[in-house]
A and B are shown apart, each in its own frame.
Chain A
């Protein structure tokens, strides 16, 4: 069995094979592989005995269920109004600078992907970003540099 196949089976054993298990399984795949590949989708469809179109339709509806390959660390910078007012643009430019990628891209070594997202719920401490599931509020150019450098050395 391939790694993905094994992962899907393990997740289906854990969350069950009913239709309502689909979201937790997709979320589990993201947790491990950072994106839902077509192999993963086919496997999930097989395990849950539903059409792979159903799996694809569901996965593509949710912005965090990426179906494109992503880096090990997915950075999502909030772009909603208060973060925008308080300097999200500078934060994004700083990250682009440090990682030498543009918004939407993944680094060559597949370590980082840089994206934006809608309101993260930290409007009083913006700008804010998520790295995978960890929020980093109150960013400025210095703080974001420190955080990214730290991840780069991981």
Chain B
């Protein structure tokens, strides 16, 4: 355990008085909040890892008077379940984070977009939301929060698709630019952050940027909530400091026979055993929204890849050709190679196709299929063929 540092930032106990951190933060100016956020070096926890403080600053600078705060609680990446745990255990911190962001950027309204699969959480969240609104009123903070539900579409986790969905439309990603900081939900300047990012913001306000920066590495500040599953005796949620090597991670969470770890879900990267030592988990190495799936030698990596491609093929919104057709062709392709209908050299053509998708697909879904595809095919070629 010496090589992994456990932390208790996200799930730590609430303050004694309800919404105390929010109350004290509201006494600060918008500039003070944003400066503190930028100094903390916090990067978004939804996967892409953009600097949160900068995102808030850009939105605050927009002259349009109506702005929005959106909490992305669509958590659909295979292998991720940490946002569900956060919303179950510490929803107050999530609402506080949204309200602090509202103060920082000058928004009066926030939306939480909760995936349909988590509808069972709604009664408890609504009850906490009542408590929040009571306190916001008492603090004279004009910022209300509304929860909107998804209905079973992974693509709605993509920020612009999520906006479309809130607006009552098909969840089809938009062209970028414009970015959400300029034109987000209802075409107004919008900050969209992951559930965990908002909780981190509250912790930064509570302890200060300097304390927060003591955790992690220069590229990956703070702690991260990991969702650990697969072949592991310790499946579940673990809050760890960023910047560890995958070897240390596997020593703690593996079952002694770990063959590969999929870091970052189906849209992330597969790291084989021989690269565990050199792989750092964090923005300087392999980034992750928190999904860590372990596979031992009894597992067929062909089956794993097949499962991921099935997932992408179903969840592709179908709007652009490289992704809609590409996902189908990759799936058909590995099938054909496995059955011997195509020679093994056909895999190279498929790798080229996935590279093409990376540069031509419209959104992050189509662009990231190549991550798992090439890392699995290249590292486990024999398993794809025999």
CB–CB A82/B171 < 8 A: no
A64 to B74, CA, bound (A): 14
How many residue pairs link A and B with beta carbons under 8 A? The number is 123
A54 (CB) vs chain B CBs: closest residue? B169
- CA separation between A64 and B152, bound complex, in Å? 5
Task: Answer whether residue B314 sits at the interface, using C-beta atoms and an 8 A cutoff.
Answer: yes
> Provided the pairs A118-B314, A119-B76 are in contact, do residues A24 and B153 lie with their beta carbons within 8 angstroms?
no
Among the stretches A1-9, A15-23, A94-102, A141-149, the one at the interface with B is A15-23
Interface size, chain A (Cβ < 8 Å): 37
Q: Which of B225-233, B272-280, B340-348 contacts A (4 or more CB under 8 A)?
A: B225-233
Is A117 interfacial (CB 8 A cutoff)?
Answer: yes
Chain B residues whose CB sits within 8 angstroms of the CB of A125 once the complex forms: 235
- Residues 223-254 of B contacting A (Cβ, < 8 Å): 227-231, 235-237
Least CB separation from B149: chain A residue: A27
A123 in contact with B293 (CB, 8 Å): yes
Residues on B with C-beta less than 8 A from A61 are: 153, 170-172, 317
Q: Which residues of B contact A30 (CB under 8 A)?
A: 151
B84 at the interface (CB under 8 A from A): yes
Q: How far is the CA of A120 from the CA of B117 in the complex (A)?
A: 6
CA distance A124 to B153 in the complex (A): 21
List residues 126-150 of chain B with CB under 8 A from any CB of chain A. Answer: 148-150
Residue from A21, A23, A63, A124 within 8 A of B235 (CB atoms): A124
Q: Name B78's contact: one of A19, A27, A118, A124 (CB within 8 Å).
A: A118
Given known A-B contacts A64-B152, A118-B154, A121-B84, A81 and B79 have beta carbons under 8 A apart: yes
Within 8 A of B (CB), among A54-74: 57-58, 61-65
Q: Are A27 and B151 in contact (CB under 8 A)?
A: yes
- Which residue of the partner chain, among B83, B167, B227, B308, contacts A124 with CB atoms under 8 Å? B227
B27 beta carbon closer than 8 Å to chain A? no
Given known A-B contacts A61-B153, A118-B314, A123 and B165 have beta carbons under 8 A apart: no
Q: Which of A18, A58, A122, A133 contacts B81 (CB 8 A)?
A: A122
Q: Flag if B168 contacts A20 (CB, 8 Å).
A: yes
Is A130 located at the chain interface by the 8 A CB criterion? yes
Which parts of B292-334 form the interface with A (CB within 8 Å)? Answer: 293, 299, 303-304, 307-308, 310-311, 314-315, 317
Q: Does A153 contact B (CB under 8 A)?
A: no
Complex Cα distance, B120 from A79, in Å, reads 20
For residue B317, which residue of chain A has the nearest CB?
A61
Q: Are A134 and B120 in contact (CB under 8 A)?
A: yes
A121 touches B168 (CB 8 A): no
**Cβ-closest 7 pairs across A and B:** A22-B168, A64-B152, A123-B229, A124-B235, A62-B151, A63-B152, A61-B170
